[in-house]
Structure 1
Amino acid sequence: MNKSEFLIKYHHLRQVENEPDFPLKSSGKPAAVLIPILQYPDELRVVFTVRAKHLKHHGGQISFPGGKKEVSDLSLARTALRETFEEIGIAPDKVEIIGHLPVYRTISGFEVTPYIGFISAPLKIEVDKNEVDETFEVPLTFLLNTNNHYTHWMKRKNYQTPVYFIQWHKYSIWGATAAFIRNLSHHFK
């Protein structure tokens, strides 16, 4: 799949389903992530981060670069770009945002907007070791194949909720990060 094929599938007129998120009792804290898609000559690959193990929240987990909206952020798209630059050194002018997925509410009280951004490869990533231990890439075609997705149902706070998993070599992509990928995959059915 190349960028043109991706855009044709992503920007279509039919309604796509979304995975259930966590039903917050009140408005969540606004946050944003970037789904960075690297354009190689022969394929598209997605960059993931492994959060630094010493972090108080979600240490060692796999995520997309992103975080909560700061007062200085003019928009959630700016939040995603700022956090991407801070965490893995990709400058905002290197990212072409082509859209976003629906807001996804998390059990930790955030309302996360995932933005989709294309980046020309190869790419020099500069990891901020205070936030990220490492990065890795996964072929987009692997991620969009729902045969590679697994769902486990859990009961949390008297609510039955799905937890999604995608295994890539030694990396277990799960939770909201996997849900973002699942929501993206619905555009490609």
Structure 2
Amino acid sequence: MPLDDLVRRVDLALRTPRGGSSDFDLNPDFRLTQERKLRPAAVLVPLIEGPNGVELVLTKRSSRLKHHPGQIAFPGGKVEKSDASPTAAALREAWEEIALPPEAVRILGALPCHETVTSFNMHPYVGLVTDPVELVPEAGEVAEVFRVPLSHVTDPARFRVERRLWQGKWRHFYTVPYGPYYIWGATARILRGFADALQ
């Protein structure tokens, strides 16, 4: 699909109101409490033109990290007080984690917020990389930067539901594996919502 056509599709999808998601969507027996305190976070969903079409940029987190070591993730993190907005936080984190310059990204819009099991309210922003860039992982946080064809992660048929024991109960979640990369949890749930929006 030509890039301009894809951008129009994404723009339309992001303008359509949709409810938020959470790590517990597939676990109807789990009840979220009203008293829970969520910390704001923001991630960038970076799209970039590749030799075979539009691709999604993802990271593999360092195995040395305390939270979610070795997992596949979007570049992003906590919204700091110094950030002008969650969008600014997503762009700052992408610069810090993979050396993606903020000025090289055109924000297309926001996906619905996602609540994580670690009590973050995650704001995902879809951004188109408009300039040639060299993406470099920040060694302390990111083990690898890689690309996945956007067509792969926006095809609902490629998603599976799997489960793991968590706090003594089975927890179900989406996965969308790609080659050696096991994409699951919040990243897969956000991508599943993106895939549904584009249909």
Task: Verify same fold: TM over 0.5.
Answer: yes
Judge conservation of contact 1:48–1:63 (CA < 8 Å) in 2: yes
Q: Deviations over 1:129-178 (max 9, x none)?
A: 00001111000011111111111256756987541101110000000000
* Matched pairs, number: 189
Structure 2 vs 1, CA of residues 120 and 39 (structure 1 numbering), >3 Å: closer, same or farther? farther
How far is 1:186 from its partner? Answer: 1.2
Q: Deviations over 1:48-72 (max 9, x none)?
A: 1000110011111100000011110
Q: Which residue of 2 aligns with 1:7?
A: 7
Q: Which residue of 1 aligns with 2:193?
A: 183
Q: Distance in 2 between matches of 1:17 and 1:159?
A: 26
Q: Which residue of 2 aligns with 1:39?
A: 49
How far is 1:2 from its partner? Answer: 3.2
Q: Distance in 1 between matches of 2:71 and 2:193?
A: 20
Unmatched segments (≥5 aa) in structure 2: 25-31
Q: Does 1:147 align with 2:168?
A: no
Q: Which residue of 1 aligns with 2:28?
A: none
Structure 2 vs 1, CA of residues 162 and 15 (structure 1 numbering), >3 Å: closer, same or farther? farther
Q: Distance in 1 between matches of 2:2 and 2:170?
A: 38
Structure 2 vs 1, CA of residues 38 and 49 (structure 1 numbering), >3 Å: closer, same or farther? same
Structure 2 vs 1, CA of residues 153 and 127 (structure 1 numbering), >3 Å: closer, same or farther? closer
Unmatched segments (≥5 aa) in structure 1: none
Q: Which range moved further: 45-54 or 32-41?
A: 32-41
Q: Distance in 2 between matches of 1:136 and 1:174?
A: 16
What is the identity, as a one-letter code, of the residue corresponding to 2:193? N
Q: Which residue of 2 aligns with 1:110?
A: 120
The secondary structure found in structure 1 opposite 2:4 is helix
The secondary structure found in structure 2 opposite 1:56 is coil
What is the identity, as a one-letter code, of the residue corresponding to 2:173? V
